[in-house]
Amino acid sequence: MGGKVVTVAQQKGGAGKTTLAAHLAAYWSQSGRNVAAVDIDPQGSFTHWTELRFQARPNHGLGFGFARLSGWRLPHELDRLAREHDVVVVDSAPHAQADSRTAIRYSHLVLVPVQPSPMDLWATLPTLELARMEKRRAMLVINRMPPRSLLAAEMAQKLAEIDVKVANIVLGNRTGYASSLGHGLGVTEAEPGTTAALELSRLADEVALYAGLD
Ligand SMILES: Nc1ncnc2c1ncn2[C@@H]1O[C@H](COP(=O)(O)OP(=O)(O)O)[C@@H](O)[C@H]1O
Ligand SMILES: [Mg+2]
């Protein structure tokens, strides 16, 4: 049986797609899964992180397979990578690019990071609709939740209106997520035991379960 393709998608830039994709890839490979990561964003932020990672781990390599892909090769390559790995994490571009649409079509799960504001929630609707049209499972991940957010109640109501699966684990607004990536690492590698690392590993476990990873 083939592995699962998990695409992180959301039209809004800065929502946390690359952050989520990188930490998931690092954690899943750290916890013994055979992982591939694919960067389909022309901006190449994920690719840049892999370059830092390569330098940061001279004796270990990336710890997962990696490809930067676009265009007509994408479906075939996603299919091939899924056959050869337990999980393929795809970091996609903002805006409704053709490649993002293709990646969604070939995914088992579409992860949609969203910051806790009503406007950001509206911005997820086109991505959720795309997943729905392609009959793919989608899961919202609330990202950068400030402590004691006054928005929480309002968000909960808006989320209920949207009627989409929402991850139980919410990611806080934590410097560890950015600083670890700046060193080419995931937060669970750079600072194990911290709140950020614990939160991320719990979310990754929840996502793995929902995506049907072994
Ligand atoms: N949970 C978080 N806590 C703190 N900073 C975050 C968090 N998630 C994302 N960021 C920061 O927000 C910015 C945008 O995140 P990024 O992953 O690049 O978004 P996208 O890929 O959707 O454009 C980055 O500077 C990143 O470090
Ligand atoms: Mg990005």
DSSP conformation letters of 140-200? EEE-SBPTT-TTHHHHHHHHHHHT--B-SS--B--HHHHHHHHTT--HHHHSTTSHHHHHH
The pLDDT of residue 2 is: 84
Q: What gap in Å lies between CA 17 and CA 20, rounded to an integer?
A: 5
Stated pTM of the model: 0.97
DSSP-H helix ranges across the chain: 17-30, 45-56, 74-84, 98-105, 118-123, 125-133, 152-162, 175-182, 187-190, 195-211
Nearest to 104 by CA among 76, 133, 81: 133
* pLDDT at residue 1 in the model: 60
Q: What is the pLDDT of residue 45?
A: 98
- The residues, ordered by sequence, that sit 6+ positions from 192 with a Cβ below 8 Å of its Cβ are none
Q: What is the DSSP letter of 212?
A: T
How remote is the CA of residue 13 from the centroid of ligand 2, in Å? 7
pLDDT for the residue numbered 155 = 80
Mean pLDDT by 10 residues, the chain (214 residues): 92 96 98 98 97 96 97 95 98 88 96 93 94 97 85 80 92 97 98 98 98 90
Which atom of ligand 1 is found nearest the CA of 10? 22
Q: Which two tokens stand for residue 137?
A: 């499972």
Ligand 1 atom closest to the CA of 91, numbered from 1: 21
Q: Residue 38: CB partners within 8 Å, gap ≥ 6?
A: 66, 67, 68, 69, 77, 78, 81, 88, 89, 90, 91, 103
* Pocket-forming residues, ligand 1, beta carbon under 6 Å: 13-19, 45, 94, 143-144, 171, 173-174, 177-178
Q: Amino acid identity, residue 121?
A: L
The CATH class for the domain spanning 4-211 reads alpha beta
Predicted local confidence at residue 190, as pLDDT: 98
**Residue located nearest, by CA, to atom 3 of ligand 1:** 173
Number of neighbours of residue 96 by Cβ within 10 angstroms: 12
Domain residue ranges of the chain, discontinuous segments joined by +? 4-211
**Residue 150's pLDDT is what?**
66
CA trace torsion 161, 171, 93, 80 (10° rounding): -100
Of 151, 157, 168, the C-alpha closest to 115 is: 151
